[in-house]
Structure 1
């Protein structure tokens, strides 16, 4: 019985008896050449090899992704993230940009900024405008805000109800973009629905006080739109004992790198701490350890297919930093897996945050090395990931044919990488894969 092996690009086919490709197989040893035996399953072999390589690639891709989150020279890494801690106070919140210098502030709030609001008279919604007392004509009114007067018009007709009249007025105000937002609010009680117009300044502070009055007609007076129900006021607060008055509830510190939002008056100063996001760092470290352990297990499960040097490299990156990792609560176990001591890690992040960063994320650290390794694996051709036991220790046609099958899988899994590694004159193939 004969099998054919060919090569696109002009190389002639090679015909050899099948017996030529049947090496002696050691008992209990995985040998891909078994598929030349008519009683073995090529599909089983192919599935085993490709599944192992696929799992390995995917695991290293995940390992690299988790490592990047902790690598200090990567943009957006968790060591650069900053949080604003107000010690549980709800009177203010805050944010800080990445890499902001750690700092502590004492902030007291005596008054929060408020926007002016006018609420009109509640009027029965379905009543006709005329019955409700509105002038049936073109109504003209003036809005004054920030020293600027806006003259607006609203036509009120015989068919309008109280609600449609108020809606027209609100539309006139909103379309003028005056810095005031108007809306009509309905309330129902005892089966009767009433409508009222509500005007609110878009910004807080006394600079945004507004007035509204009729110029022609009685739309403002009859609707009650000029009734002020909430007065504008400025924010008043102290930062480290220095009194400040502001138009808004946003407080900018450290050249704008820190932003606080005032929510309520405080009875005493609130201690505001700006520093690393230790919660995010702990989560990222635990995530990396979890994926590291999965990677170690995947390599063990596929050790008859994948090169043992990969497992040695993954664990080796930990062994090189073993003592430093133990100091921050990450222990290497006998089977090569890692365990995190949550209390010890928290203590290290509180007392020695720079040590944690050096051990994990800086050049030569745990995450840095695992990330570099993962990057290297992702760029390797599949045959470079495969153990000698899989490809066979024999050289010649048998080994050559197995490698071409892996090349074929490589081409389908990652054609761009494959073609960058393969001679442009053609592609190996055979009838078995």
Structure 2
């Protein structure tokens, strides 16, 4: 920035710095206008970003109505969920059945023979754990690979339990200490008859050593106690016996999963029915998503004659076009067949201002009386005019949100405007700097000239005074 060399023109009291400052401020007015324009563009970028987010929400809401699973909601109830609880997947046909529970699934649990003294080594050898089923006291291997665990001569019962747990076995191990000594407790991780187990040992000597009550043989299932046998859950469905390795029956009734919680004394009734409330909630979400966009666009494009104020996007043709295409999609007619061709036919009407409102009673009646026709109104894919309204809105919003769609194009335009504005500001700044330097040089030169003239004036005045004295 240029500087003035003196406070005034030849000390005549003129505030040259103030004069220059005011002239520069006048020169900066176009720059101030450019800054306001840049701020407006940034605000528009933010506004269109918000609109894009709302359009994305509308796309999701439309998508849930175009998805078949969105129309297959079911409600599952139990006459007493403390005994039997249930759920069903979407699309399950309405049904009801009775469940009686005879027994719950259990995991096998065993306790070894006691080991004394507490904390001493048990003996060297190999533990072998096999998974399978116990039938009438006879173990039948399930055919899986047995787990061998090496035990050293210094291992205590706690060490052995840690090795079993660390081997990711099909059982969990812990140590119980009571008056008779230490016992190894094993429990299957899974319930059911087929998830039983058998623990045998190999102490490296004759086979008889593996079953006596010394060393590692004290830990075998044979020499221990089965505190709980592995059992399947047993129930009756409409009087027909069924079993499950767990307390959950997920293959007994098509589409339905029920879980037995307690043994029953009387049948528990499970009912599966169509759940229209889920569909109604999706329709409500669709309406809200549309209204959120419409309200934002209405506010941004309006002009208030009373206050003479305009919305941020008032006069923006792209915003108005977006509002119109969305309204056209919502107001479209579907020729998919049936009694419903417009949203208004099922209780969804457009109010003044463009917002949608839902007549819940009319929508509920339509869903109860003609569920397939309501579904077609939204998700029919017949092509062209036969497409459902949600299908059209989904296609429209997908196009708007695409990499070369409306929002990308609008953002590119606004970003380009910002770049131009930035260049314009830089040029304006350069002009202001050049102007300030120029007028500062001019005032400095004028100041020097005035100073010289003042000096000449003083000299002449002195000479005149001297001449007057000499001729007086």
The TM-score normalised by the length of structure 1 is: 0.63
Question: What is the rounded CA distance, in whole Å, between the counterparts of 1:81 and 1:152 in structure 2?
Answer: 51
Which structure 2 residues correspond to residues 270-349 of structure 1 after superposition, within 5 A?
270-274=268-272, 278=276, 280-303=278-301, 304=314, 305=316, 306-320=318-332, 325=343, 328-341=346-359, 345=363, 348-349=366-367
**Unaligned 5+ residue runs, structure 2?**
1-28, 134-139, 201-209, 302-313, 334-339, 382-386, 426-472
Q: Is residue 2:182 matched to residue 1:183? A: no
1:186, distance to aligned residue in structure 2 (A) = 7.3
Match of 1:370 among 368, 390, 393: 393
Question: What is the rounded CA distance, in whole Å, between the counterparts of 2:53 and 2:417 in structure 1?
Answer: 15
1:405, distance to aligned residue in structure 2 (A) = 4.6
1:338, distance to aligned residue in structure 2 (A) = 2.4
In the alignment, what sits opposite 2:307?
A: none
1:138, distance to aligned residue in structure 2 (A) = 1.2
1:307/1:385 contact within 8 Å kept: no
Question: What is the rounded CA distance, in whole Å, between the counterparts of 1:341 and 1:197 in structure 2?
Answer: 67
Question: What is the rounded CA distance, in whole Å, between the counterparts of 1:383 and 1:91 in structure 2?
Answer: 55
2:96/2:272 contact within 8 Å kept: yes
1:311, distance to aligned residue in structure 2 (A) = 2.0
Question: What is the rounded CA distance, in whole Å, between the counterparts of 1:352 and 1:195 in structure 2?
Answer: 70
Which structure 2 residues correspond to residues 87-126 of structure 1 after superposition, within 5 A?
89-97=81-89, 99-119=91-111
In the alignment, what sits opposite 2:416?
A: 408
Q: Is residue 2:144 matched to residue 1:155? A: no
C-alpha change, 1:113 and 1:409, in structure 2 (3 Å) is farther
Secondary structure in structure 2 of the residue aligned to 1:70: helix
Question: What is the rounded CA distance, in whole Å, between the counterparts of 1:359 and 1:266 in structure 2?
Answer: 46
1:58, distance to aligned residue in structure 2 (A) = 2.5
Report which of the two has the higher share of helix. Answer: 2
In the alignment, what sits opposite 1:62?
A: 57
Pick the structure with greater CA Rg: 2
Report which of the two has the higher share of strand. Answer: 1
Match of 2:123 among 137, 140, 159: 137
1:219, distance to aligned residue in structure 2 (A) = 4.6
The TM-score normalised by the length of structure 2 is: 0.58
Partner deviation per Cα, 1:118-173 (whole Å, 9 max, x = no partner): 2468x9xxxxx76328565315556564423877553352xx6xxx5234145247
C-alpha change, 1:219 and 1:281, in structure 2 (3 Å) is farther
In the alignment, what sits opposite 1:199?
A: 186
Question: What is the rounded CA distance, in whole Å, between the counterparts of 1:259 and 1:270 in structure 2?
Answer: 14
C-alpha change, 1:222 and 1:98, in structure 2 (3 Å) is closer
Q: Is residue 2:46 matched to residue 1:51? A: yes
C-alpha change, 1:116 and 1:223, in structure 2 (3 Å) is closer
RMSD, matched Cα: 4.5
2:188/2:197 contact within 8 Å kept: yes
Partner deviation per Cα, 1:401-422 (whole Å, 9 max, x = no partner): xx98547279x9xxxxxxxxxx
1:337, distance to aligned residue in structure 2 (A) = 1.5
1:267, distance to aligned residue in structure 2 (A) = 3.4
